[in-house]
Structure 1
């Protein structure tokens, strides 16, 4: 399913590159697949290698007794909800790290197990996406025959008139959701992350990742922005003017998707934008990110079929009314 979604979303790129480079469809599809694998695989390998090196380095430093935890600043106490507890635990770790680890060994063991499970799940997702990109490249190479086959399938489920319309609508919906949800979420996260980094907020990369997940899940990125603004003001390292300007910019950057989504999502479709958005949100709630595409496609196609039925019934009712009026007039005559 992921390969199908990727192939549909990337097909315009294949057509564009084919026209520009003059290569065959097979070569262009292979090039797109290689680029996709490299874009996903190289950063993942770099992050994994860096993470593993830091973990092993920290372990060796701890074994040698050279690991030192710096004491927390007083501003940690002002963190909402967890400030006091975080400051106390941090100060205890800074005073005697081995005793701190020994005292909280059960909690740290469960935390490490949870972290390992999440890391392995993330690695599996990356390998899944790499496999989906490779299969999508194969689908792109055979896009035209596959399109004709899919159109025949849609016709077999409906009729010669409605089948091609539903096929075109489903394809366009998947493509628009890829651009209107995933694309806009990525753009929003990049703008937000750049603004947070320029403002000097700590952990800008983490804020960017959280903003990306919020935008994909259709949650307000403004929540993340308010936390970033709170950290900016609590740092005490910048002037009030700097904080005011960047607070406005951070909140404005978190609203990028609110302005772009209505303009992009549903454009070029015979389906209202709220129908596509509701299908995407509902599908994501029931089936994750992949369900977002399936939900939007199914609800859009269902809306189209329903409205076709309504229009046919309305036309039939109007025809029957006119026929009855004609018969009544003839009998009166």
Structure 2
């Protein structure tokens, strides 16, 4: 008759120790995340800027000599100056324009010409537009009083967007400063990234993962800058042809907004309103308003065409990652989304290609 072996009393103890250690580690991880969470977006944006600007940092270092810190500091100062100087001039220009409009309204100097008779013959919107235009031309004060509730809501929304843009600009400047610190330790940071990647993925594939992440971030960043530049050219052409005061400065502001992923309508809508106040609702101003409004939305069409070029990953993967990440996480998601999706795509095909030898089909002998 077989005898039963006694249960080892150390087993429950070992399981309990394992659970306690896992619980303590989980508690530590959650505590670290909660402490770091307020700075997560800022640090992610700083890392993206550092990866994007590092080639320029290396070029500047070779030109001026010195250590990593000197070229990183100079690059950050130049970038902050490029952001702050046009922003200040733009704010002063907008303030002056608003003051002049308020002065004209107080002096009862707003005179809108009567609509041309052929406006009523336009399809669909001709008659309502003609009636509304004629009412404004005959009694501006009454029309403004009727539209006051709608204008108040639109004005508050515009002020909210401007406040959000100011906070975003300050956060961007802070991210630039932190990115300069990261670039000062570029070599050691690269070695740390390789060590982490080799620990996360299979040994020997960490360098490929780091290269993939770096290339994806830079490709998306270059796509963002290219889209912002094209949009700036489209809007600047309309401003110059219409003779908008300070067209070059306004176009530069559009470029900055595009790079920081803020809507260009923050510039185009006030300019459209200014042109209507200054020249009235003529056919030329209506055409200008329609063109400028759609030019301000051109980035929605250009992103699918330009994002992610030059990356060793299919274009649909980068595009879906960029657009999906932007929907989920905003501007940070625009960069993190394609990186995560590209890494997942490469890891999936790496797993597919690493099949066991006995799972591969055997070659068939020719008859």
1:306 to 336, 348, 352: 348
Per-residue CA deviations over 1:251-271 (Å, capped at 9, x if unaligned) read xx99x969983xx8342x432
Deviation at 1:110? 1.7
The one of 151, 158, 173 aligned to 1:130: 173
Change (3 A) 1:10 1:106: same
Q: 2:323 aligns with which of 249, 268, 281?
A: 281
Which secondary structure state, in structure 1, belongs to the residue aligned with residue 112 of structure 2? coil
- The structure-2 alpha-carbon separation of the partners of 1:258 and 1:202, relative to structure 1 and needing over 3 Å to count, comes to farther
Q: C-alpha displacement at 1:162, in angstroms?
A: 2.1
Counterpart among 80, 85, 103 of residue 146 in structure 2: 103
Q: 1:148 to 1:57 in 2, by over 3 A?
A: same
Deviations 1:116-163 (A, max 9, x none): 112212222222212221221121112222222222222222233122
Match of 1:27 among 32, 49, 70: 70
Note if 1:54 corresponds to 2:97: yes
In the TM superposition, residue 306 of structure 1 has moved relative to its aligned partner by: 0.7
Alignment check: 8 A CA contact 1:266 1:272 kept? no
Partner of 1:183: 225
Larger-Rg structure? 2
Instruction: Give CA-to-partner distance per residue, 1:185-212, whole Å, 9 cap, x none.
Output: 12322443455467x4687868x959x9
2:273: which partner in 1? none
Deviation of 1:85 (Å): 4.6
- Distance in 1 between residues matched to 2:58 and 2:122, nearest whole Å: 52
What are the ranges of 5 or more consecutive residues in structure 1 without an aligned counterpart?
218-233, 237-249, 326-333
Matches within 5 A, 1:55-204: 55-63=98-106, 65-71=107-113, 73-74=115-116, 85-179=128-222, 181-193=223-235, 195-196=237-238, 200=241
What TM-score do you get using the length of structure 1 for normalisation? 0.71
Return closer, same or farther for 1:102/1:313 CA change in 2, 3 Å cut-off: same
Match of 1:271 in 2: 313
1:36 aligns with 2:79: yes
- Which structure 2 segments of 5+ residues have no match? 1-43, 263-282, 286-294
**1:290 paired residue among 322, 332, 335:** 332
Q: CA deviation at 1:90?
A: 4.3
Instruction: Give the structure 2 partner of residue 240 of structure 1.
Output: none
Residues in 2 aligned to 1:302 and 1:272: alpha-carbon distance in whole angstroms: 13
Rounded Cα–Cα distance in structure 2 between residues aligned with 1:165 and 1:285: 28
Q: Distance in 2 between matches of 1:303 and 1:158?
A: 13
- 1:82/1:143 CA distance change after superposition, 3 Å: farther
Tell me by how many angstroms 1:165 deviates: 1.6
Q: Normalized against structure 2, the TM-score is what?
A: 0.65
Aligned to 1:328: none
d(CA) in 2 for partners of 1:77 and 1:26? 66
Residues 186-242 of structure 1 deviation map (CA, whole Å, 9 limit, x = unaligned): 2322443455467x4687868x959x96xx79xxxxxxxxxxxxxxxx649xxxxxx
